[in-house]
Amino acid sequence: MTIDSNIFSLTDLEYIPYIDNNGKLPAEFQSKIGVYAIFNQEKILQFIGYSRNVCVSLTQHLIRQPQSCYWVKVQTIERPNRAVLENIEKAWIAENGAVPMGNRDDKPKWTQPIDAKALITAEEQANYDNPANDEMAKIKVIKNVARRVEAEILKVLQARGLQMQIRFNPKLKEEGLLDLK
């Protein structure tokens, strides 16, 4: 059943595993324009978004929120049209009866690069604050923090069975940020 002629009801769309049996994300959404709903392991709605390349966006969300990305529902459209995408998103939120946490207070966790600096250890902070460190030494500390957080994320994804290559943008690591290249 459709909500209107261009919008499929969220309940009528199939749950698609976020990571398939081959350790890959759903390839059918590569270079597809659409709206997607992300669900956790218990199939509780976590986030609704839209994109000009659904597969790339799903990959970004997986690295940012791996514990919340187990199932996805997608509606694709043929041509980019922000109004259509926003209408589908609004209809799905209304159908859900509440705005998912990922679209409220947690939205930056879903849509912004990971701030590795927020995960700095006491030892790393002490190393950063060392008065003998110049600017280059401080950048190196922040880069190492980003690398540690990156390794932790990759370990979680590997444990989930992900088999695809994930490449983070190396230039952002100097700022302590992690985002896909």
Average pLDDT value over all residues in the chain? 94
User: Could you give the domains of the chain?
Assistant: 2-109 (3.40.1440), 114-178 (no CATH)
What is the residue whose two structure tokens read 């597969």? 55
Residue 173 above 80 pLDDT? yes
**Collapsing DSSP states into helix, strand and coil, what is residue 173?**
helix
Residue 1 above 50 pLDDT? no
Q: Give pLDDT, residue 137.
A: 95
Q: How many other β-carbons are positioned within 10 Å of the β-carbon of residue 8?
A: 18
Q: What is the average per-residue pLDDT within 49-73? A: 97
Q: What is the average per-residue pLDDT within 10-39? A: 96
Residue 92 above 50 pLDDT? yes
3-state secondary structure 116-159: HHHHCCHHHHHHHHCCCCCHHHHHHHHHHHHHHHHHHHHHHHHH
Q: What is the average per-residue pLDDT within 38-65? A: 97
Residue 68 above 80 pLDDT? yes
**Residues 105-140: tens digit of each pLDDT:** 999 999 999 999 999 999 999 999 999 999 999 999
